[in-house]
Amino acid sequence: MAPPDSKLDEQGAEAVALYKRLLSDVIDRRPSGTRQRLAAALGKNRSFISQITNPNYLTPIPARHLDTLFEICHFSAEERRRFIEAYTRAHPNRPALVHDAHKTRAHTVYLPDLGDPGKNLALQSAIDVFVRDIAGIIGGGNSKRKRP
Describe the chain by its helix, strand, coil percentages, rounded to 5: 55, 0, 45
Question: For the segment 43-95, what is each residue's pLDDT rounded down to a tens digit?
Answer: 888 899 999 999 999 888 988 889 889 888 988 889 999 999 889 888 888 76
Question: For the segment 10-34, what is each residue's pLDDT rounded down to a tens digit?
Answer: 777 888 999 999 999 999 999 888 9
Separation in Å, CA 69 to CA 1, 20, 34, 104:
30, 12, 10, 13
Kindly report the pTM of this predicted structure.
Answer: 0.61
